[in-house]
Each structure stands twice: as C-alpha cells, then as structure tokens.
Structure 1
Amino acid sequence: MTFDGVEKTFEDFTFTYYPNPIIDGIDRTVSIMSGGLDIKLTGQRFDLIQEPRIIVSSLTTDASNSELCNGTETLLICPTPNFPDHVISTRRRRASNGVMTANLTFDFDGYIVDGGFIDYYPDPVYESFSGPNRIYASSNGRLDITGIGLDLASMEDDVQVLLGPNGVCHVDVLEIDVVRCQLPEKQPLAGYENGSLGQGPAKNLPAVTVLHGNVRFSPGFVSAWATKGNPLIAIVIPVVIVVPIWIIIPMIILVWWFRKKQLEVKRAKEEVKMIRMNILKRVREVSNTSLDLSEADDRVQKQGVPFVGHVQYVTMMLFAGLGTHPETTEPEYMEDFMEHSLVSFYRMLKEKAGMIEFIRQLENKKTGLGRERELIASLLAITFVSEGKSIHFTSVLTSLVEDEIVTASESRRRMDTLFTNTESIAVKLISNWFALFMFEYLKVYGVYPLYMLYQAVKAQAEKGPIDVVTGDAYYTLEFSKLLDQEIDFHSLGIDVVDEDGHVYLHMTVLDVDTVKQAKQKILDSLWKKSYCLLPRDIDAVDLVWIQTSGRTTLLQDIDKSSETQGKTMINTMKSFGIRNGSLVALIPKNHGDEYQTLDLKEVSSKTYESLQHVTVEMIPESQLSQPASNAIHLKGGVEELTRKKSNLPDHMNQMKANLDRNLAIPHMLTMKASISPYVDGIFEVIFKKPAKIPLPVKYLFDTFDALAIKYAGGGLPEDCADKWKKNCLSNFWSSVLTNLPSMFEMPRSETADRFVIALAGALNDAATTKTLRQAESDHLPYYNEHPLQRKMMTDYCTQVTSQPKVRPGKLNKACSSISKEFKGQFSHLSNLLHLYNLTKNDMDGLVE
C-alpha cells in the first residue's frame, strides 16, 4: 500500500480472488409501490459479499436503494425498495394506479448483476373497522381485515398482523379484499405497539397493526376474549335478559326471519338470472371476433407504412434509456489539437487488435457503470456502420463473441445464459450489431405485419369501453386491467361536418365514451383517411355538438354538472344526450375563459387541415385536460353509487365478486381470437423465413456453432449454440415489440402499448423453460403457446444451421450493403467526438 507516496509492504497478508457470485434463481420479480417485500435469490458464493443490495431504477428516474440483503452462501433475502418515482412527472404519476415496470439489478460490492425487470403494483389499501370506536368483535377466534388490492404481488408471508405491544395474529388467508388471521388464545396486552392505550371502550383492548411490506396501518381494536368481573353480576344479568327473550322475542324473530328468507330467495333468484344472462352474453361475444381494418390498410396502400426511418430506429433500438441520441449534424467548430486527437483515436479503432484491447480496458475500468457501458457500445456501433466499416465491425464482433465464451468457460458460468443481457460493452455491442444487421430484413418483411398488429389491437380494444381514469378495458389481454364491472354500452353513429354543414366523415363511437375518447377516435379516422399526413394532438382541438335547432354546444369532459355525491363524474356521449345521427364538428382549441357560440362557417375541414402538428411536449401541462383526483368514468359510476346493496350473505357476495372477475375472462378470449391472425403474422416474420435471414446473421450463427464445439465443455455443443441463437433472436424481437409504438408515425393507444410489451415478455418467456403455477398461468393469454413457440425457435435455428456456410465474398458484400443503408444518416465526427470524450481517460497507451 502507498501512503503519500511511501510504499508499505505487509508481508503477512495476502489477497485471495474468488470467482464472482452467481445468481441461479430469483423467486419473484414483483413488489408493491412502497416496497418491503422479500425477494429470495438462490445461487453460489453469496458469503463473499460484504454489502449485497438490490437496486431498482426506471428509465427516467434515479435508482432507489434498499437496505442490505441477508442470507447464507447459497441464499440471499433482499427487501424491495419503494418505487423510484420522486421525479416522475405529474402525468405519469396519475397513471401509477396501474402496474409500473422498472429495471432490477443487484449490487454485489460493485459487481452489478442484471435481474431483468420488476413489476410494481399499487399499494394495498386497508379499511378501518366499522363503528365510532373501530372495535372488531370476534366470536370465533378469527380476525378479518378488509381492503382493496391486498394480494397484488403479495403472499401470506408478506403480511404481519400485530396485536397490542406483544401479540401476533397468525395470517393464514390472503385474498384480494381480505386478510384473515387466527387470534391467540390469551388476550395480548392492551394498547398500541408503543404501549399507549386507546380511548373509551377500547381502553382495555389490544390495537391491531398491519405490516404489509413497508405499508403500516392500524384499522382499530379487537375484542375476542371474555372479561373478568363480579360473578354475581355475571349470573344476574343473563337471567334478566333471558326471561323476556323466552317470552316475547321468539315470536318477533320468527316473523322477521320468515320475511327475510322470502326476500333473500327472491333476490337470489334475480342474481342467478342476471348471472346467467351475463354468461350467455359474454359467451356469444367470444364467437364474434370480426375485425375491420380496411381504413388502416387503405392508408398503407395510399401513403405507405408510416415507418419512422433509420435515425429513429437506431435511437430506439440502440439508445433507449441512455438519456441521449446519435448525432446527425457535424460540429460547428473544432480545435486543431482535438482534430489531431480524433484522427489518432479513429486510427486505433480501425485496427482490430487495438479495438479489442480498447474494449477490454473499458470493461475493467467501467465496472458498475452499466449505462455508460451501453452508451459506449452504441456509439461504437454507429461510428463503424455509418462510416462504411461494417466488415471491420463484424470481424471485431466475432472476436468479442469468442472472448465472452472463453471467459464464461473459464469461470464456469452457465453457458446457456450468455448474450441474454447487455451488462457488458461486448454483449451490448453484439445486441447493437444484431439490430443494425437485421434492419433491412425488418424493413422488408416486418414493418407491415407489425403495423397491422398494433392497429388490430387498438381497433379491438376500442370496440369496448375503456375507463380513462383506471385504464381498465372491456377488451384487453391483461387480467389486472380487465373491466370486470358490468357496463351497459351501445354504439353511436355520428357525423362530422364542415363549414357548410356538409358531412365529410361518418364515425362510430360508444355512448360511454368521454369527449376526449370521441375526439381521439375522430382524429384517428381522419388520419387513416389521409385528411392529414401526421397524427394530430387531441388537446389541440375542441369538439362541438351541432343540434337540429342550430344551437351549438362545446363538449367538455368536466363541467359544472359533473359533481355527483361528492364525486366528479366525467361526462360521456350518453350524459350529453348525443344519439345516432348527431352532428359534430372539430374546431381549433380555444384557451379563453369563456366560450362564445360558434358560427358554422368557422367550423371547416380546411381550418382543421391547417392546424399545426402538435405533440404533447409542446403543450404546457396546465393546458392539458386533467381529470380530478376523485374523478370517475366507468368503475364506480353513478349506477354503482346509487345501486342498493345486495342482501346476500357476505360469503355469497364475495363469491359473486370473484365470479364477476372471472366472467370477464371471455373478453380476453375475444381479444386474443380477434387479433390472432395478426399475431400469427408476426411469428411468421420471426420464425418462418429462415431462407431470408441476413447473411451476416447466418455467419454469426455459424460462429456460435464452431465456438460451442470448441468451448462447450461438459454440455452438448448443439444445445449451447442453439441457446445462444435463441437468446439473440428473442432479445432483438422483444426489443422491436417493446419499441413498436414508437416505430410508426401513428395515433397510439395505452391499451395497445401495454399489449405489445406483454407480447414481448411472452416471447422472452418462451425462450426459457420457466414454469408457473396454474393460478398465474391462467391469467397469461399466451402461456399455453410457449411450447409451440419454443419449437418454432428450435426449428428456425435448425433450418438456418442446415444452410450452406457463408462465403467471405458474399459476407463482405452483405456488410457493405448495411453500410450503404445507413450512410449519411449520422454525423461520424460528432459521434466519434462523443465517444472520445467518454473514454479519453481510460485509454492507457492505446492512443498517442
């Protein structure tokens, strides 16, 4: 060791280096927003870690660190941190009532291991006990605590129920709306955890405290144990009470019971009849899977597929989540010394040995800087491809692939997990290479099926109601987002008119659509019919209802009539009284405080066409329509607020609620059946065209085969090579599906966005052999197709392997074609300068 330049040698001490810890399994990747749920890791060499931590970060926020993990050599228990949302924008925070996805990593004393993604569900909401004193009277030794969303991402072991300062109620049942636990035989000490006592009747009772992860809630007190008192009073009081009961009360009770049973039987028959009608209705819906996409297809025939192009594709596939983008313009000025440095730097990168040594040095010096590593790899890829060095890029890549395999073989890592993430510069570079060299294939064979898949999902979802507050939809493939409440809705045909009152567009909306939803459907139809080349922003226009009397009404989601029983009811087409054949018009957004009656001549299609193409980022957030925090659209609407409470027993009410939820599953089947031709089209593109595979990708797969034979060790070489190919394929296509909504200039839908992300997850799951419990797999629409998809992957890789090996001349020609594809799209000098500034302090002896 060196102290102020003086070296000190400790001869009696030595350092011993052990292989890095290995994670073999993660028991779950879900949590609640407040965190505190334990994630169990199984693996090897965990006892070498001094400070193991779990780190959760989203794409736009800082990481959220948790407390240290605890465990043994082969087991680690890590409490999840709270979701890192302290800098999330207001509009994203409004969407937090749904599932939020974040990156999951583990920090083992600076050694960062990628855990994939973690889903954050809303925090459970517990309810206080009823009554003014909040006392729960138990007669059977059981305690029931009710709430909302209690079992989201949670199990019985995640919930503790404390009684007073020293008691525990053992939890044995956890359902979506109730936690049940067994009370102890003896009453715990009275009061709260800290010993303070309750007031009034609760003074001698223990307080109930629920610990659910980091969520802490006290619903009240529990009374379940007999109290001690004067034995004479205990005898006299029952006698005084029992005598009149035996004489008078039985007759009253008998009459009341008879009438109550009659009423219960009547209501039960009505409930059964209603359930039967709902079942028949929803079963009939499953058979109706027709989907009309003629408008979307017509636009493609006229305008072509609205694919974003080279620059946006590279930005999404290579720079997603890195906080920057590739430069497309040259720098305005550069000093002579900097220009000389860049020339020397680029000369080093063009030498294969120098390039590989450069990457190796960076891998050692950028430990723990995952995002910076990925950025370096992406800038390297752009630098070579845009400058026509694809052949050199491919040659370097094959050497890096061999380095990764050799390192895994020597450290005895699992060979089949290689190339599954981008935690190193080399692996990220391989992922980037794959994305660039698959671009031409995607553009020729993939963009049309991908575009039509998105349009199919969007069209089917919009055939049913979508709650604008919760995001729950009548037609969806997410079980957690199913609109399980029975909604009475009908289609409405409305006409959009121009300044002369002439109809130029006939539209179909739902009577339960909000004004914003109706505007969105009209704007989408105008875009599909090529009235405008780019999608228009919904907040740039207003919708006006033109009545037969000539009177015009500005339609707004929330107005003075929206307040109902302390809630803000969002207006719908039905609430305005709009019917079939009603006339509406689009006008430019008026941000004034008052609205003046419109002259029809002001409402013209030309006015609409002249609207500036507006994006959400260009409009101040204060001007965007924002539902109130207590706003209600479909779930918990007026019908539910005013509906009389069922007289069925509690257990039957609970059974009915669960039945309603499961009865909504046919909506998922309808959605899946209606879009299945388009999903099949995607898998056709991914796995049914092995003869069209780009030659450089075929060359990479051949390299995998050769290296597997050389380094596979005890495993079967064919299995290792096959797994590496599947990892690269699933990573690429999952990234394509995840970024699909941004690949096209088109109107978007939150439901459709979530679907393609779920489909990307299904594709990744299909590449593994992960099995789920029946209750979990029932809610995943494509889980049963995983074996078929795995077989399609295997067959595809087998067919590619059987093709003749790529000759050097054809490989060079194919690489040159990729360089021509991206030539002139990016600024070579600006991206090289960015790369140099990132790495100039880490190039020991490589650049003069």
Structure 2
Amino acid sequence: MNLIVKRKSKQALRDYKKVQIQLENLETSVRDRCKKEFTDLMTEMMDVSSDLMGSGIPVLDYRKYSERIFFPGHRDSPLRRDLDVPACRRATVEQGLVQLSNLLNSKLFLTKFIHTLEAQRTFSPRDRAYVASLLTVALHGKLEYFTDILKTLLSHLVEQYTTKNPKLMLRRTESVVEKLLTNWMSICLYTFLRDTAGEAFYMLFRAIKHQVDKGPVDAVSGKAKYTLNDNRLLREDVEYRTLSQTVPTKVLDCDTITQVKEKIVEQTLKGTSYSQRPSADSVHLEWRAGMAGHLILSDQDLTSVVQGSWKRLNTLQHYKVPDGATVTLVSRQSKQIHHDSHDYIPGETYKPKYFKENRVKQWHLVKAGEEAELPKHRRGSLRDKERERAKAIPEIYLTRLLSVKGTLQKFVDDLFTVILSTSQPVPLAVKYFFDLLDDQAAQHNITDPETIHIWKTNSLPLRFWINILKNPQFIFDVQASDNVDAVLSVIAQTFMDSCTIADHKLGRDSPINKLLYARDIPRYKQMVERYYSDIRQTIPVSDQEMNSSLAELSRVSYGHLPINHLVALHELYKYINKYYDQIITALEEDSTAQKMQLGYRLQQIAAAVENKVTDL
C-alpha cells in the first residue's frame, strides 16, 4: 500500500514539474509579445492618468459605498426608503422605534436578541446578513458601542469554535457577527480605500477593461479573446480589423452596434462618471454614409442574417462600415426618422411572428450549443472535437492567457503592494483587530500560528479585500462587464491563495487559473507573511485611541448618511415580531434581564409599533 502511495506521489511530483517547465517555456515564448502589449497599454494608461489629473478617480461617496456594501443586491434598501406606516399611526410607531433604539443600547438585550434569532431554524444565512446590516445602520452613529458589541460576539464565536475546529472560524458568513465584521471593516477602511489603495485598484480596473475591449467579445456568450479566465476565453480565431471612427474611437469591425455605442460613450464621456452617462439603449448609432444618406444602425433589423433557427447580431462588418467612417451617437428622443430615398433606416426593426414561434436563437461570433441541433449520430464526433479543443488549451490558448497576465502584471503587483504595505501607517482598525485576534487566541490557549494566520486572513483579506476586488462598483462609479468581472475573480482568487498557508500542489488537472499565477504566489505569500509580522510588532492601539478614532468616524461618516434610520429599526422590529415569543422567553429566563425589565420594555415597544395588546 505504501509503495502505491509513494509511486503516485512521485508521479504527481513529476507531473507538477512538467507543468512548471511547460509554463516557463510558454511564458518565455510570449515575453516579447507581452512587452509590446505592455507598451501599448502603458500609453493608454498615461492617457487615463492624465484624465484623472482633472476629474480624479470616480470614488463613490460614503452613502453609496456603504449602501452597496451593507445591502448588496437590494435595489430597495433601507437607506433609500421612508417609513411605510399609515399616517394615523406614524407618531406612535416612531415613538416605539425610538424606544427600540434605546433598547438596542442595552448590550444584554442586543446579544440576547442576536443569539435567540440565530437559534431559530428558519433564520436563514440571508436573514443573518440582513439583520447584521440593519444593526450596522441603527448603530452607525455609535461606532464605539458597535465595536464593543462586535468584540463581545466575537469572543462568543471563538468559544464555539475552540470546541470544534478553530481554523474554520470566520470562513463563511454563518452568523450575524461575521457580517457585522465585514461591515465594520468596510466602515473603518473607506478612507484608506479612497485615499490610498483606490488609485492602484482603479488603474488595474481600467487596464483590464482596455485589454478585454481591444479584442473580440462575443455579445451573446460573453466570451473574449483577451482574458485571464479560461472559462470566459473565446476559443475561436475570429477575423477582425480595428477601425478608427471620426469620434475618434477605436472599435472592431466585428463589434455589435451596442458594443460600438458603449465604446463611443466610454471614449467621449471618459471624464464623466458612469451614472451620469447615457445608456447605449438611449442613443442611436448614426452612420453618415455620403450619398447613401444617414443610416441608423442596430443590432437587429430586416437586414439581419438568419440561418435556420439562428439569427446573427449585426456588426459594423455586416453594414460594411469602412475605416475612418463618420459615425455619431444621436439621442433617441431627439432623432427625427424620415423614410425617404436618402434615409435608409435598418434600425427600424420588424419581427415576423415565426421568429417567436420558432424561438430564433441569437448569435454573434460563435453559435452556442450547436451540438443539440445535430442528429444524434453526429453529436459524438462534436464531443470528441470539444475534448480535443479543451486539451489544446495549454498548447494554443494558454499563451493568450499568459500574454494578458504578463501585460497586467505591473498593475496587479502595484495593487497587492499597496494593500500589503507597512511602509506607511497601517489603518488603526487593522492593527486593533489583529491584536484582538491575538488576545483571543492567548485567552483560549491557541498557540498554533497557522490558526491565528487563518483568522487574520478570514477577517481582512476574505471579508474586506476579496469583496472589494470582485466588486469594483462597490467603491467606484463604474460598470464592470462580465468579462472584467471574470478577470477580477482570477486576481481575487490569486490574492486569497497568497494569504493561505497551505501549499497548493499543482498538476496537469489543476485549474488553469491557478496555474497562471503558480510562480507568483510564493512571492505574494512572503508579502502577506511580512505584512502580518510587521503589524504584530508595531505598538498596540489602546482602547482610548481606537474609541477616539471611532467617535470621529461616527461623526464624519454618519453625517454622510442622509437616511431615515427609523426604517432600519422598523425592519429589525419585523424580526422581533416574527420571533417575539422566543425573544420574550429568553429575556424572562435571564435574571439580570428581568431586573433590567428588558422584557417589559420590549412589550411596550410592541404595543406602540404593532399595536399589540399585552398584559401590561
């Protein structure tokens, strides 16, 4: 048995070394291409830097930032709503919610409330995250108290995990305190992100966008020629030309009309934040085609190519738009469309009924799922071709991934360096919280340095930085395409892998995304180790110093939250109402809570907010 294990281990090691050599050879072969690509990119980024001198980085204000962090995916968040109660009861409800706000100032009540909710089977992970963010809003003006609650709940969490596996603590958002920690870090690090790390991140974002947009991107499948993510790689050699329009904007003749509009808007309004720009749907693309008149171009119209059940999206190539053509954006509202001999309007679409009945499928560069259309006897051969194509990735398409990786390398290094730098003062919150984790470990006799390293990784890189790296729209007024998101996901995963202690054994079956950065991760790991070590050796932050910083942060940041915090309290009350009996029981079973009359106070609140009849 041992011989078999040793033989497999040696084979895995040989495979790993073979993959490493293959990667090194590939990187050498694309190095010259990377230099040219990097030179072109740096020219573009110099223009970006020049633009930023005037307009600055489009950092969101604190209100929008906090809303996106606290309530991701919630279009109608409590930060935007008004209190939704009948006018006749509004005064009474508001009075009850003010009483609830005061009751939340009782540490005993708040911890009992949270633990009681978490003990309920129907209290889902989504509920836990939502309640944590509602509490963050409700307590935002009292960050010293918020921090004290966080510390208390964290100590309870440590006690739970010391009896299980302490290395798993803070790994997922399975408790209210874990989302509270994410929010706390986000509040405390907003200034650092805005003033220090933001520029490096924004430059990386723009560099990725430039690299993706300079090659074909399939508008239907979302796959691109230039990417870091092999799942989003366009594995077809699409013929295309770069065109310079009179805007001037560089576009590709294989771009759909919507893609062209987006590129023109991006170029002509680059000094304007994304939220202030017109959407591609709100404008027409007009080609001033000399004697042919002014043509309005569209993704689909009567000229679109239809092949069986497939309908192809129109491109500049489809319309035979030449290099140097005059194309402009025209507002849909202001455009007067005339149907005469000089104004051919392909943009006016007509969809025959059979399009819907036959469920016509759209395609742009590559038809997706063609196998399903083939007779059964031909499907197997297509599967074989797909397998062969997948095997060919390291030899053919991996060079393209490596080229993009090499071109972006400086921007990735710059961002990781600024995040992990101790050459300037580390944010107080990071030092304070890392020391808190060290103290908790000491109190529970946890001496394993690997466990403490994991806690720090799960509390800062995982809970804050990965969240930001994957979601640039959380901090910037930008829109990230699916392809930019896919590239950022690879970079975020690389950062996370760099923060882990375990060595990743790579072989032929390892994900290509991990193979790409296999040679860089050891260097990044050293940066992380040094960062944690340097922080541990700096002078501790006293509670008084931290509280002073938090008080100032409460004063400044809360002033930028033009919210009705009563809405957050009202949303919290809905959970109190749902689990009212359980919460009352928990309070009645605690002698200290009884002396403080916490249950009685909650009954009064219920009477006011819910018009609930109680035995007062």
- Identify the TM-score tier after normalising by the shorter chain: 0.7 to 0.9
State whether structure 2 residue 477 is matched by structure 1 residue 745: yes
Q: Distance in 1 between matches of 2:386 and 2:444?
A: 62
Q: Which amino acid aligns with 2:413?
A: D
Other-structure match for 1:6: none
- Counterpart position of 1:477: 228
- Structure 1, gaps ≥5 residues long: 1-278, 496-504, 601-625, 638-649
Tell me what 2:63 maps to: 311
Aligned to 1:682: 415
- Counterpart of 1:802 (choices 537, 549, 569) is 537
2:248 alignment counterpart = 506
Per-residue CA distance 1:707-746 (angstroms, 9 max, x = gap)? 1112144x52x33322211111122111112221353223
1:457 is aligned to 208
Matched, 1:774 2:512: no
- Superposition deviation, residue 529 in structure 1: 4.6
Q: Count residues in correspondence.
A: 521
The answer to whether the Cα contact below 8 Å between 2:498 and 2:528 also exists between their aligned partners in 1 is: no
Q: Does 1:829 align with 2:566?
A: yes
Structure 1 residues 490, 400: closer, same or farther in 2, change over 3 A? same
Q: 1:382 to 1:652 in 2, by over 3 A?
A: closer
SS in 2 for 1:544: strand
Q: Any idea what the Cα deviations from partners look like across 1:788-828, whole Å, max 9, x if unmatched?
A: 33332222111111111112332121111220232231322
Structure 1 position 440 matched with structure 2 position 201 = no
Deviations for 1:214-246, whole angstroms, at most 9, x for unmatched residues?
Answer: xxxxxxxxxxxxxxxxxxxxxxxxxxxxxxxxx
Given that residues 225 and 235 in structure 2 are in contact (C-alpha distance below 8 angstroms), is that contact kept between their aligned partners in structure 1?
yes
Tell me the CA shift for residue 303 of structure 1.
Answer: 2.0
Q: Would you say the 8 A contact 2:185–2:429 is kept in 1?
A: no
Letter in 2 for 1:421: R
Decide which of 563, 573, 581 is 2:316's aligned counterpart: 573
Distance in 2 (CA, whole Å) between partners of 1:800 and 1:468 is 46
**Which stretch of structure 1 is more off in the superposition, 365-374 or 334-343?**
334-343
Match of 1:754 in 2: 486
2:77 corresponding residue in structure 1: 325
Q: Residue 422 of structure 1: CA displacement?
A: 1.3
How has the CA–CA distance of structure 1 residues 812 and 669 changed in structure 2, closer, same or farther, with 3 Å as cutoff? same
Letter of the 2:253 partner, please give it.
Answer: D
> In structure 2, which of residues 165, 169, 177 is the aligned counterpart of residue 426 of structure 1?
177
Please give the alpha-carbon distance, in whole angstroms, between the structure 1 residues aligned to 2:552 and 2:173: 26
Answer whether contact 2:128 2:176 (CA < 8 A) is retained.
yes
For residues 146 and 389 of structure 2, the distance between their equivalents in structure 1, rounded to whole angstroms, comes to: 62
Within the alignment, does 1:710 sit opposite 2:443 as a pair? Answer: yes
Instruction: Find the partner of 1:342 among 77, 97, 102.
Output: 97
> Could you say which residue in structure 1 is the equivalent of 2:217?
466
Q: 1: distance between equivalents of 2:69 and 2:205?
A: 18
Distance verdict in 2 for CA 1:598–1:304, change over 3 Å: farther
Secondary structure of 1:513's aligned partner: coil
Q: Which moves more between the two structures, 279-288 or 704-713?
A: 279-288
Aligned equivalents of 1:592, 1:776: Cα separation in 2: 54
Q: Quick one: structure 1 residues 340 and 586, their matched pair in 2 at CA, closer, same or farther if it must change by over 3 Å?
A: closer
Aligned-partner SS, 1:288: helix
Larger Rg: 1
CA distance in 2, matches of 1:339, 1:570: 55
1:288 to 2:45 alignment: no
Specify whether residues 821 and 783 from structure 1 end up closer, same or farther in structure 2 by C-alpha distance, changes over 3 A only.
Answer: farther
Q: Which moved more, 1:774-783 or 1:724-733?
A: 774-783
Looking at structure 1, the residues matched to 393 and 144 of structure 2 have their Cα atoms a distance apart, in angstroms, of 60
- Residue 595 of structure 1, CA deviation: 5.5
1: CA distance, partners of 2:109 / 2:334: 60
Q: Whole-Å Cα distance in 2 between the matches of residues 582 and 835 of structure 1?
A: 59
**Conservation of the 8 A alpha-carbon contact between 2:422 and 2:535:** no
The answer to whether the 8 Å contact 2:30/2:402 transfers is no
> Shift of the alpha carbon at 1:366?
5.8
Question: Can you list the C-alpha shifts for 1:48-102, whole angstroms capped at 9, x where unaligned?
Answer: xxxxxxxxxxxxxxxxxxxxxxxxxxxxxxxxxxxxxxxxxxxxxxxxxxxxxxx
- 1:110-146 C-alpha deviation (Å, 9 max, x unpaired): xxxxxxxxxxxxxxxxxxxxxxxxxxxxxxxxxxxxx
C-alpha distance in 2, partners of 1:326/1:337? 20
Contact 2:215 2:224 in 1 (8 A): yes
Three-state SS of the structure 1 residue aligned to 2:541 is: coil
Given that 2:273 and 2:478 are in contact with CA atoms closer than 8 Å, whether structure 1 keeps it comes out as no
Shift of 1:661: 7.3
Contact 1:305 1:448 in 2 (8 A): yes
Larger strand proportion, structure 1 or 2?
1
More helix by share: 2
Residue identity matched to 1:521 = K
Instruction: State the distance in 1 between where 2:532 and 2:282 align.
Output: 49
Give 1:32's aligned residue: none
1:672 and 2:405 matched: yes
2:199 partner SS: helix
Equivalent position of 1:535 in the other structure: 277
1:400 to partner: Cα distance: 1.4
Match of 2:365 among 634, 641, 645: 634
Partner SS state of residue 128, structure 2 = helix
Give me the whole-angstrom Cα distance separating, in 2, the residues matched to 1:417 and 1:462.
Answer: 40
Over residues 584-617 of structure 1, what are the superposed CA-to-partner deviations in whole Å (9 max), with x where a residue is unaligned?
Answer: 12112279997536999xxxxxxxxxxxxxxxxx
Deviation for aligned residue 1:684: 1.9
Is 1:492–1:579's contact at 8 Å kept on the other side of the alignment?
yes
CA distance in 2 between partners of 1:551 and 1:338 (Å): 65
2:9 maps to which residue?
none
CA root-mean-square deviation: 3.5
Q: Residues 339-377 of structure 1: CA distance to partner in whole angstroms, max 9, x if unpaired?
A: 443343223322333332332223223664221121111
Match of 1:390 among 139, 143, 153: 143
> Within 2, Cα distance between the matches of 1:405 and 1:429?
15
**Structure 1 residues 778-787 or 428-437, which shifts more?**
778-787
Amino acid in the other structure paired with 1:703: L
Where does residue 103 of structure 1 map in the other structure?
A: none
**Residue equivalent to 2:593:** none
Partner SS state of residue 492, structure 1: strand
Match of 1:27 in 2: none
Q: Is the 8 A contact 1:366 1:373 kept in 2?
A: no
Against the structure 1 CA distance between its residues 724 and 598, is the aligned structure 2 distance closer, same or farther, given a 3 Å change threshold?
farther
Gaps in structure 2 of 5+ consecutive residues = 1-26, 344-355, 369-382, 588-597, 602-616
1:459-486 residue CA offsets vs partner (Å, 9 max, x unmatched): 1111111111221211011112222222
User: Residue 843 of structure 1 aligns with which residue?
Assistant: 583
Query: Are 1:354 and 2:109 an aligned pair?
Result: yes
Report the secondary structure of 1:528's partner residue: coil
Counterpart in the other structure of 2:50? 298
Question: Partner of 2:100: helix, strand, or coil?
Answer: helix
> Which TM-score applies when normalising by structure 2?
0.76
Name the SS of the counterpart of 1:320 in structure 2: coil
1:596 to 315, 339, 355: 339
Q: Give the secondary structure class of the aligned counterpart of 2:245.
A: strand
**SS of corresponding position for 2:303:** helix
1:522 to 264, 284, 294: 264
Equivalents in 1 of 2:71, 2:389: separation in Å? 49
Residues 636 and 340 of structure 1: CA distance in aligned 2, closer, same or farther (over 3 Å): closer
Contact 1:295 1:528 in 2 (8 A): no
Give the letter for the 2:288 counterpart.
I
Distance 2:72 2:64 in 1: 10
Q: Which amino acid aligns with 1:352?
A: K
Q: Equivalent residue for 1:736?
A: 468
Determine which structure has greater relative contact order: mean sequence separation of CA pairs < 8 Å that are 6+ residues apart, divided by chain length: 2
Distance 1:782 1:283, change over 3 A: closer
TM-score for the superposition, normalised by structure 1: 0.56
- Give the AA of the match of 1:736: I
Is the 2:230–2:512 Cα contact (8 Å) retained in structure 1? Answer: no
Identity %: 25
